Amino acid sequence: MFGWGNCWSVPVCLHGICPGILFSMIMSFSSISTVSYIDELGHHDDNARLAPTMENTYQMGPYKRFPANAATDILKDVLTSYLQEEKYEVEWSQKMTKTLCEVIRARVKELMIPRYKIVILVHIGQLTGQSMQISSRCLWDTSNDTFASHFFKNSSLFGVASVYAIYFE
Distance CA 108, CA 149 (A): 13
Is residue 65 a contact residue for other proteins (CB under 8 A)? no
Is residue 12 a contact residue for other proteins (CB under 8 A)? no
Shortest Cβ 46–other proteins spacing (Å): 7
Shortest Cβ 110–other proteins spacing (Å): 12
Q: In terms of CB distance, is 43 or 85 closer to other proteins?
A: 43
Q: Which of residues 102-141 bind other proteins (CB under 8 A)?
A: 102, 104-105, 108-109, 117-141
Distance CA 29, CA 6 (A): 11
**Which of 68, 70, 101, 111: binder of other proteins (CB under 8 A)?**
101
Shortest Cβ 1–other proteins spacing (Å): 11
Query: What does the radius of gyration of the chain's CA atoms come to, in whole angstroms?
Result: 20
Pairing between strand 21-27 and 116-126? unpaired
Q: Select the span of 28-36, 59-67, 76-84 touching other proteins (CB under 8 A).
A: 28-36
Q: Determine the Cα angle at 16 with ends 12 and 17, to 5°.
A: 165
Shortest Cβ 69–other proteins spacing (Å): 20
Beta carbons within 8 Å of 33's beta carbon, 6+ residues apart:
25, 26, 27
Q: In terms of CB distance, is 84 or 131 closer to other proteins?
A: 131
Nearest by Cα to 68 from 113, 101, 98: 113
Element (H or E) spanning 167, and its range?
strand 157-167
Is residue 39 a contact residue for other proteins (CB under 8 A)? yes
Is residue 58 a contact residue for other proteins (CB under 8 A)? no
Is residue 90 a contact residue for other proteins (CB under 8 A)? yes
Is residue 93 a contact residue for other proteins (CB under 8 A)? yes
Work out the widest C-alpha separation in the chain, in whole angstroms: 57
